[in-house]
């Protein structure tokens, strides 16, 4: 932020009765910084770009940089990376600089580019989605369940509605398969009575093979569901499903020694899903149960809680130093929000409090 604007904001705050120190802390600077900026009564321009700094004693000379560039462009070395060039030179009794320095000099000269017939690596943008009601954004994943012996596993498929945190579909199988995932998606859509006329539905997952199988993608296309996937090698792009699996595996009744049969696993998961949807008061939705949120009962329940708290405060106001607990639900649930969206969510929570 421009320092002239910061100075003006602090002056306005002080004129309105705020302490200068508190105003500075709120905007993120110290009082000493403000005093330095306002030296002699007028804002002083930033002098850092004009400062003359001494060159590091270990800086490479222009001749050394030129020598590095000449070496890496020689016929014997032009197809080799610095990680190989430097040891080869060392075998010849030559040392100019480290591998990292070679890379830096090449980068500064514009000679550090992608080579080879393979496709250059690209950064995939974050998949960002917003749910404002149930059945708009679903998240799903597959996790291991321990089997009857070490190294044997069953596979738990779970589909979660991120708006309500309701588990809308689940299955347990002995293998990971796009066909099983397709069947589960169809059953979940039928159970929720979702049609194309209800509006778009996004299904988010990671990059596992069942998520990208041809039968799975064809099913999504037929149902009018938009597929969404996490970025490669980014472990926290599917946070709702990962959090759900943690809740599942930290249940007191979870059999850490494994399930004897697949029917035992299915029975346990069925009981867990019922507990999670109907009895678990989720902290992310103001301690409603996912079913209450999913079925539209949440607003009425939270309204009653608010009235109860207000009545309790009216009976004993001396026991309350601030407002009663905030029972207001935020009706925008984001999956992987951008930085600006995170700031807006934080601001809306602060305002509601």
Considering only CA atoms, give the Rg of the chain: 30
Convert the pLDDT of each residue in 53-95 to its tens digit: 888 888 888 999 999 999 999 999 988 999 999 999 999 999 9
State the pLDDT confidence band at 341, using cuts at 50, 70 and 90. low
- Parallel, antiparallel, or unpaired: how do β-strands 201-205 and 225-229 relate? parallel
Contact (CB, 8 A) for 44 and 36: yes
- Parallel, antiparallel, or unpaired: how do β-strands 137-146 and 201-205 relate? parallel
CA nearest neighbour of 276 among 243, 242, 244 = 244
pLDDT for position 236: 87
What six digits make up the tokens of 250? Answer: 């930290």
The runs of H, that is alpha helices, within the chain are 3-15, 20-27, 31-37, 62-72, 82-91, 99-108, 178-191, 209-212, 214-223, 239-249, 262-278, 290-294, 298-315, 339-352
Distance CA 285, CA 161 (A): 12
**Pick the residue with more confidence: 36 or 63?**
63
State the pLDDT confidence band at 348, using cuts at 50, 70 and 90. low
Domain assignments of the chain as residue spans, ordered by start:
3-50, 62-108, 126-353
Q: Which residue has the tokens 């792009």?
A: 237
CA nearest neighbour of 77 among 104, 118, 115 = 115
- pTM for the whole thing? 0.69
Distance CA 198, CA 189 (A): 11
pLDDT for position 340: 61
Give me the mean pLDDT over the 131-141 stretch: 95
Contact (CB, 8 A) for 201 and 194: yes
State the pLDDT confidence band at 41, using cuts at 50, 70 and 90. low
Give me the mean pLDDT over the 215-241 stretch: 90
Q: What is the largest CA-CA distance in the chain?
A: 89
Give me the mean pLDDT over the 218-244 stretch: 91
- Find the length of the chain: 353
Distance CA 144, CA 249 (A): 10
What is the secondary structure of 211-222 as a DSSP string? HH-HHHHHHHHH
pLDDT for position 345: 53
Residues with Cβ within 8 Å of 29's Cβ and at least 6 positions away in sequence, in order, are 6
pLDDT for position 33: 86
pLDDT for position 198: 80
Domain 126-353 fold:
Nucleotidyltransferase; domain 5 (3.30.420)
Give me the mean pLDDT over the 173-200 stretch: 92
Distance CA 80, CA 66 (A): 18
Question: Rounded mean pLDDT of the chain?
Answer: 89
Convert the pLDDT of each residue in 101-120 to its tens digit: 999 999 999 988 877 778 87
Contact (CB, 8 A) for 169 and 187: yes
State the pLDDT confidence band at 279, using cuts at 50, 70 and 90. very high
Contact (CB, 8 A) for 69 and 106: yes
Angle at 144 between CA 143 and CA 148, to 5 degrees: 155
Convert the pLDDT of each residue in 287-318 to its tens digit: 999 999 999 999 999 999 999 999 999 999 99
pLDDT for position 11: 87
Contact (CB, 8 A) for 273 and 167: yes
Give me the mean pLDDT over the 33-37 stretch: 84
């Amino acid at each position: 932020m421009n320092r002239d604007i910061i100075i003006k904001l602090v002056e306005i705050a002080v004129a309105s009765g705020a302490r200068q120190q508190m105003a500075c802390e709120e905007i993120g600077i110290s009082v000493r910084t403000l005093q330095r900026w306002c030296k002699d009564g007028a804002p002083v321009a930033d002098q850092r770009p004009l400062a003359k700094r001494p060159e590091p004693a270990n800086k490479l000379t222009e001749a050394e940089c030129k020598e590095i560039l000449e070496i890496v462009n020689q016929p014997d070395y032009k197809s080799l990376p610095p990680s190989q060039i430097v040891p080869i030179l060392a075998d010849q009794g030559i040392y100019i600089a480290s591998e990292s320095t070679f890379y830096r000099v090449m980068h500064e000269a514009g000679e550090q580019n992608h080579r080879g017939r393979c496709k250059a690596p690209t950064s995939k943008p974050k998949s960002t989605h917003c749910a404002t009601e149930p059945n708009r954004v679903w998240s799903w994943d597959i996790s291991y369940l321990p089997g009857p012996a070490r190294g044997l596993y069953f596979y738990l498929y779970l589909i979660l509605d991120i708006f309500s945190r309701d588990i809308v579909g689940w299955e347990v199988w002995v293998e990971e398969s796009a066909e099983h995932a397709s069947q589960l998606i169809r059953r979940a859509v039928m159970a929720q009575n979702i049609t194309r006329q209800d509006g778009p539905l996004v299904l988010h997952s990671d990059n596992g093979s069942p998520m990208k199988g041809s039968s799975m993608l064809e099913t999504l296309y037929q149902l009018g569901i938009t597929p969404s996937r996490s970025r490669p090698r980014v472990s926290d792009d599917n946070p709702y499903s990962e959090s759900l699996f943690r809740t599942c595996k930290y249940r007191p009744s979870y059999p850490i020694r494994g399930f004897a049969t697949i029917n035992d696993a299915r029975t346990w998961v069925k009981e867990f899903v019922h507990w999670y949807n109907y009895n678990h008061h989720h902290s992310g939705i103001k301690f409603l149960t996912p079913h209450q949120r999913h079925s539209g009962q949440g607003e009425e329940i939270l309204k009653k809680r608010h009235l109860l708290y207000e009545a309790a405060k009216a009976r004993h106001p001396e026991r309350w130093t601030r407002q009663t607990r905030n029972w207001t639900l935020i009706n925008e649930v984001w999956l992987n929000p951008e930085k600006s969206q995170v700031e807006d969510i934080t601001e809306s929570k602060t305002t509601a409090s």
